[in-house]
Amino acid sequence: MQIQQALAWAKSQLASSDSAALDARVLLAFMLDTTQAWLLTWPDKMLSEAQFERFRQLIAQRAEGRPVAHITGYRDFWSLTLKVSPTTLIPRPDTEILVEQALMCLPAVDANVLDLGTGTGSVALAIASECASAQVTGVDIVADAVALAKDNARRNAISNATFLQSNWFDAVQGEQFSVIVSNPPYVETRSPYLSQGDVRFEPASALTSGHDGLDDIRKIICQARGFLNAEGWLLLEHGFDQGEAIQALMRNNKYEDIATICDLAGHPRVTLGRR
């Protein structure tokens, strides 16, 4: 079977997915240990029977709903290629908005950044990769996530990021930061979203936070002031309908210059405030 035929077949098998064509290309490129560009350049190349059988198995996993990143073990984020695992959230493009805003908040010198709930280390490593003079600390309560983030730092040759096991601020007592960022759990415990798509395969502890999804965000907003430098910034990723509530929480905790930034789809995605 030719590459173009295999991709057409795979797309038909994944017809219920909004990203069927992309998923097929990613999985075939992974199986062949090549790039998507190569597939598009050589659509007439033939697959062996063994290659197509392996591809068929990968497509079957995706058709069952298993995330592409879990099948390949990797996900591209920012300019990085990150190893992923079922113990953490899969980095998503929307979270790059959090990175962009954090970079704009960094001081010119002596930047010191804290990433709460770092998971794969995606946000911390993206910031560290863009600002070599910044010192970035990522914390996560899950030991396996901390090990994964450290591995991703090594794989991407990033030396200015440190990762610690911590329940939010517990391991950084007495420290202060220029910028604190977080993509915390923010989904309502009973949200129907939890039974849809890739999130079915991701840890609930990294997704849900109380009846309104704001339990962890309330805690972070309240406690972060004690860990921010004067004029330091707190930035939080959140759900599309939580911006106003988070702005109110920040106002009640005496943050200033509060704003909510939309993602590329026009949905409120990141809210920030200055101490």
Comparing CA positions, the residue from 78, 57, 71, 190 lying closest to residue 124 is 78
- Whether residue 109 is contained in a domain is answered as yes
Strands 135-140 and 112-116, bridge-based pairing: parallel
- Whether residue 40 is contained in a domain is answered as yes
* Number of compact structural domains in the chain: 2
- Whether residue 34 is contained in a domain is answered as yes
Tell me what percent of the residues of the chain surpass a pLDDT of 90: 84
- Whether residue 230 is contained in a domain is answered as yes
127 pLDDT higher than 90: yes
Chain CA centroid to CA 40, Å: 28
Comparing CA positions, the residue from 237, 246, 183, 172 lying closest to residue 212 is 246
Let me know: does 240 contact 209? Beta carbons within 8 Å.
Answer: no
- Whether residue 32 is contained in a domain is answered as yes
Tell me what percent of the residues of the chain surpass a pLDDT of 70: 93
99 & 167 share domain: yes
- Whether residue 133 is contained in a domain is answered as yes
85 pLDDT higher than 80: yes
The Cα 141–Cα 56 span in angstroms is 37
Strand, helix or coil at 135? strand
21-37 pLDDT, tens digit each: 999 999 999 999 999 99
| Whole-prediction pTM | 0.90
Tell me which residue range forms the domain holding 31: 3-64
Sequence-ordered list of residues with C-beta below 8 angstroms from that of 258, at least 6 positions apart, any chain: 247, 250, 251, 271, 272, 273, 274
Residue predicted with more confidence, 197 or 181: 181
What is the band of 87 on the pLDDT scale with cuts at 50, 70, 90? confident
- Whether residue 78 is contained in a domain is answered as no
Sequence-ordered list of residues with C-beta below 8 angstroms from that of 56, at least 6 positions apart, any chain: none
Task: Please give the pLDDT value at position 191.
Answer: 65
Task: Please give the pLDDT value at position 165.
Answer: 98
243-258 pLDDT, tens digit each: 999 999 999 999 999 9
Amino acid in the structure at residue 10 = A
Task: Please give the pLDDT value at position 207.
Answer: 67
Q: For residue 211, what is the domain's CATH number? A: 3.40.50.150
179 & 209 share domain: yes
49 & 98 share domain: no
148-193 pLDDT, tens digit each: 999 999 999 999 999 999 999 999 999 999 999 999 987 777 766 6
The Cα 36–Cα 251 span in angstroms is 47
146 & 27 share domain: no
